[in-house]
């Protein structure tokens, strides 16, 4: 999970603010699915 989280954060920084919000939501959903 840590690796995925770090990757998401890295992508977040790379993408723009608006793009980041969308990517963050998608990554959060994926992370949530992995947790379940």
Its pTM stands at 0.22
Say what the pLDDT of residue 36 is: 41
d(CA 24, CA 10): 11
Average pLDDT, the chain: 55
d(CA 28, CA 35): 10
pLDDT at 2 exceeding the cut of 50: no
Question: In the Cβ-directed half-sphere of 20, how many Cα atoms lie within 13 Å?
Answer: 10
Say what the pLDDT of residue 1 is: 46
């Amino acid at each position: 999970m840590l690796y995925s989280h770090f990757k998401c954060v890295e992508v977040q920084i790379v993408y723009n603010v608006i793009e980041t919000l969308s990517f963050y939501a998608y990554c959060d959903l994926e992370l949530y699915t992995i947790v379940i």
